Every structure is written in C-alpha cells, then in structure tokens.
Structure 1
Amino acid sequence: MRRLRDKAASDNTRAAHTADWEKFVRWCEGCGNTPLPAAPELLGWYLTEKSGELRPDGRWAYAPATMARWVATINKVHSLAGLPAPGRNETVRDLLRGIRRTRATPTARRTPLLTEDVRAIVGTMRTAATGLADRISERRDSALLLMGLAGALRRSELCGLAISDVTAHRADGLYVTIRRSKTDRDAHGRVVTLPYGRDPQTCPVCAYRRWREVLDVWDEGGRAAAAALLADTTDDLGDHHCRGLSLKTADPDRSLFRPVHRTGSIGSGVLAGQSVHSMIQRRARQAGFSPELVATLGGHSLRAGFVTQAVRNGATTQTIMTQTGHADERMVAIYSRHHAGLVGNAVTELGL
C-alpha cells in the first residue's frame, strides 16, 4: 500500500513536499514550537516571517506560489496524521491572499526560439564542430533542438524518450510517442508527428537519423566505431538522407538522448532536464546571441517557439493544440499576446 501510494505523486513532487515539511519543522524547533499539530496562528506567523526575507540582491526570497505550496504540504501532513489542516483556516487563507496582492508581479516566461533562431544555432554548431567530442555532441544537440521545436516538446518529454518511442513513417516523417508528460500524470500518452523538413539543414528527421547513426555504432563498437563513422569530414548536409529511414536496434528501451562527456563518451543514463536548459543557453551564446537574451532562454524555449512561429505563420489555434497537446485555448493565446502581438490584431488596420 505504501509503495502504491508513493506513486500518486512524481519523484520531484515528493522531494518538494519533504523539503517543505523539513523546513517548517526546523523553524518550529528553532522557536520552541511543535510542528504537529500546528495551530493556524503558528502557521500564520511562519508565513509572515518568511514573506519578509530577502535575497542578497534585494529581491524577495520566496514567491507567493512557493509559500502556497508550503501550506499545501503542511495541510497534507496533518491530514495524513488525522489532524485538522491549519492551512484551511480562513486566517491563513487571508494571509496568503494578502501576500499575493502585495507581491503581484508578471510571470517570468522563457523567450521562444523561432525557426530562424534554431537554424542559426544549428548552423553555428555544425561549422564549429571539429574534434570527435564536438561532432558527437553536435549531432545530439541538433536532434534535440529540431525535434523539440517541431514537436513542441517539453524538456522532460525529450529526456524521457526511448528508442522505441520514435517510429519512422515513409510518408509523414517520425511518429513520436510521449508516454507521460506534465499534464498527463496518468500516462495515457499521445503521439506527435515530426514531418520531413524542406531544408536538410533543419529537417528533424535528418537530424534524428544523424544522431541515431552515432548512438547505434557507439553502443555496438564504442569509441573506435564512432570515430570511424565520423572520420569523414565532409558530412553532407546539402541533401536529405531521411527518406526510407529504417534504423533497427537490438535494445529498443534504451534512452534516445543521453549525456555526452567532454571527452566524447556517450553515457548510458538519461539526459537530465537541466542539461537541456544549459545546452540551449550555451549553444545560443556560441551563435552570437546577446547575454541578455541568452539569460531568458531555457528548455521551454523550444515549445514556446513552436507556438509563436505557428501563430506568426497563420496557423489556427486548433491545429497548434493538435501538436502541443494543450487542452485550453487560453494557453495558446498567452504566447500570441507576448510574442506575436500583431497577428490578428486590429491595431494593424489603423493606418498609423
């Protein structure tokens, strides 16, 4: 029963709840109070004290959403112990409302990477790739960027892909199965189609083939086999090499995107989401993007880029949601307002 109940939440959620509760326990012990049970007044003082803490740069130490999560965690622990949840008291609720109103700030959103942005980043990577390690990481990163953009994929979805989740289709390109996602905790799954690209430089199917070639020979023959594959310095990217794609594998459950060490060695584990975030910023910096812009990029920039580019190119909300898996049209409208504000906007008809 305990094992099954643990699966009700993700590992990250459980870790966050544990950290939240331990933080509250330490605070209670420091001021001589009992954390379980905790009176609503005690929880109120806890939130009031934490809401006034600042970071070294003068910003608030904790966001209202973080403190609301603390309250939810404390309520959960009390409920599991058969005790009244202090956070459901109206006094605590009013306190959280007051914190939200005094801290009202715009949501920080990642800057989208549009098609031309990704084209520039991929082009720079391929030009600068000289040694074995550079060539291997370039193939992985090109596949990550182009498949992430074309599929409107979250970084967690990219990192969670296995070889068996990607199926080549002769007419359409690639069928990618997303087994679990942020909004699909019950793992119903969905299939995303990545089409053949017009330009071989940015074709997601070509990028996938180039990475799979390296991955397969590495798993079969190690560094020597990969070096032999990449020994040809004339990696022809002027033509498509993705039609009739049929890559077989003896281990379909291995991860598609894996860590690449600075020596060029390909790891056997799963690529971390933070590694995708860091890679995007590093590659954008190498492509000449300004430091200010690089700081606003991250793993979500590919998904945001898909929606923004699609809106700019005249795609309808419904066709966008077919690829992104959004269930609410308002989420698509957010990208449109922030990054494609003139599309479908009557202000363009004023004749100014």
Structure 2
Amino acid sequence: MSDMERYLNAATRDNTRRSYRAAIEHFEVNWGGFLPATSDSVARYLVAHAGVLAVNTLKLRLSALAQWHTSQGFPDPTKAPVVRKVLKGIRAVHPARERQAEPLQLIHLEQVVASLQAEAQQASNQQDQPRLLRARRDTALILLGFWRGFRSDELCRLQIEHVQATPGAGISLYLPRSKSDRDNLGKTYQTPALLRLCPVQDSQRMAQRLGPGTRPGVSRH
C-alpha cells in the first residue's frame, strides 16, 4: 500500500468503510445494479426497497454510492433531482419512528460489576493472573463507558499511557479520535472518583498491570 493509499484509508473510519462496502455489494450483487450507475437506476433501487429498509438505511446506501462515484471520477447520480424526490416521497409514504437502544440501567450495571468482581476474586484465589486481569480490565472499561458515554470502539482505542488514574480524585484520559471528533484533533476527558461504581480504582490497577502502548480492548469471554 502506498503512502497516499494509507492516508486516504485513514480519512475514512473503519466502520464507515465496511458499511460502504456492504452497501455497494447490496446494490450490485443483491439488487443487480451496474456501476457506474445512472440516476434512474438509483431511483429504481430506492423504490425497490421502500418500506423494506429504513429511510436512514437508504440514505446510507446513497452515501456509499455517492462516495464510490466520486472516488472513481464519475458523476454522482445520487444528487439528481429524481433521486432526491423519490427519497422525499418514500419518507412521506413510509414514516417511521427511529428506534433507539435502551440505555443500560443502574441496576443492570451493578449486576455486571458484581459478576466481574466475583470473577476477579475467584481468579485471585486460583492465582490465575490472565483471568484476573481480564476481569479488572472489563470492570474498568464498563464503568468508564457507562459514566462517560463512550462507544465500544472508543473504549477499544484507549491506550494505557493515555489514562491517568488518581485514587480518590479521578481519571484523566485522552482519546486521539472518536465519532464526534470529525477532524481527529483528539480530546481529553475527566471522570471524578465516585463513592459507588467508581472506575478509578480498577483503571489504576489496569494501568499498573498492562504495559505502555497496550490497548485494553474488551474481553469477549
């Protein structure tokens, strides 16, 4: 991969890139469309999936098609008046309230943390250091994610040298990029120490046990 390709890839987030690839595949393979596309074929694609796919999903598909045509040097068919009008009509005929995931309730957070603490205690009794580390790491990440509202991909990008935990005071952590940080300028977040369900202690233990340059990640066990 050339330096130019590497920088171009870095300009688009991995999740967005995967979503765009899936959208292009859906247009070409599942629906049988041709690329480069015409505005008429894009409009017919929208009509074929009206009421089946959510409007936001259709908008994502249009964004993917627009990005493909622009990057390949072709005119963008999604900007044509017929495409915009069809999408507007679909929104009017198939109105739908957007579904939002239910937030994690405090009682459920307590249950998760209690389970991880029991896991850590059992691992400590058995002198199972990898298991103990996973349990403490996951506790710290879950508490950080809950109190700061971090996404899972943001938690996975945390690096130990970017986390400073002071017992009884709080945590200062730096995220080099996030979904809300479109320009990748990075941002520092502060989290105070709490009386209950506090992420400070577990974060400090995690930082002490993991070496610099380590990405904590989230255990899938």
- Which residue number in structure 1 is paired with residue 215 of structure 2? 255
Q: Equivalent of 2:26, from 23, 26, 30?
A: 23
Q: Does 1:203 align with 2:203?
A: no
Q: Equivalent of 1:122, from 104, 113, 119?
A: 113
- Contact 2:141–2:218 under 8 Å retained in 1: no
- Contact 2:177–2:186 under 8 Å retained in 1: yes
* Alpha-carbon offset, residue 211 of structure 1: 3.5
Q: Equivalent of 1:113, from 104, 112, 119?
A: 104
Q: Equivalent of 1:2, from 2, 5, 9?
A: 5
Q: CA 1:99–1:142 in 2, change beyond 3 Å: closer, same or farther?
A: same
Q: What does residue range 132-281 of structure 1 map to in structure 2 within 5 Å?
A: 132=128, 135-169=132-166, 172-199=169-196, 202-212=197-207, 215-216=209-210, 251-259=211-219
* Alpha-carbon offset, residue 148 of structure 1: 1.6
How large is the RMSD of aligned CA atoms in angstroms? Answer: 2.7
Q: Following superposition, which runs of at least 4 residues in structure 1 exceed 6 angstroms of deviation?
A: none
- TM-score (norm: length of structure 1): 0.53
- In structure 2, C-alpha distance between the alignment counterparts of 1:176 and 1:259, rounded to whole Å: 20
- In structure 1, C-alpha distance between the alignment counterparts of 2:58 and 2:69, rounded to whole Å: 17
- Which residue number in structure 2 is paired with residue 91 of structure 1? 82
- TM-score (norm: length of structure 2): 0.80
Q: Which amino acid aligns with 2:151?
A: R
Q: Which amino acid aligns with 2:109?
A: V
Q: Which runs of 5+ in 1 are unaligned?
A: 53-59, 217-250, 263-352
Answer with 1 or 2: which has the greater Rg: 1
- Contact 2:166–2:204 under 8 Å retained in 1: no
- Which residue number in structure 2 is paired with residue 14 of structure 1? 17
Q: CA 1:49–1:146 in 2, change beyond 3 Å: closer, same or farther?
A: same
- SS of corresponding position for 1:130: helix
* Alpha-carbon offset, residue 171 of structure 1: 6.8
- Contact 1:172–1:193 under 8 Å retained in 2: no
- Contact 2:176–2:187 under 8 Å retained in 1: yes
- Contact 1:143–1:211 under 8 Å retained in 2: yes
Q: Which amino acid aligns with 2:165?
A: A
- Contact 2:164–2:172 under 8 Å retained in 1: yes
- In structure 1, C-alpha distance between the alignment counterparts of 2:5 and 2:204, rounded to whole Å: 43
Q: CA 1:81–1:151 in 2, change beyond 3 Å: closer, same or farther?
A: closer
**Structure 1, residues 168-191: CA drift from partner, whole Å, max 9, x if none?**
346732111111100113221111
Q: Percent of counterpart pairs with the same letter?
A: 28
- SS of corresponding position for 1:141: helix
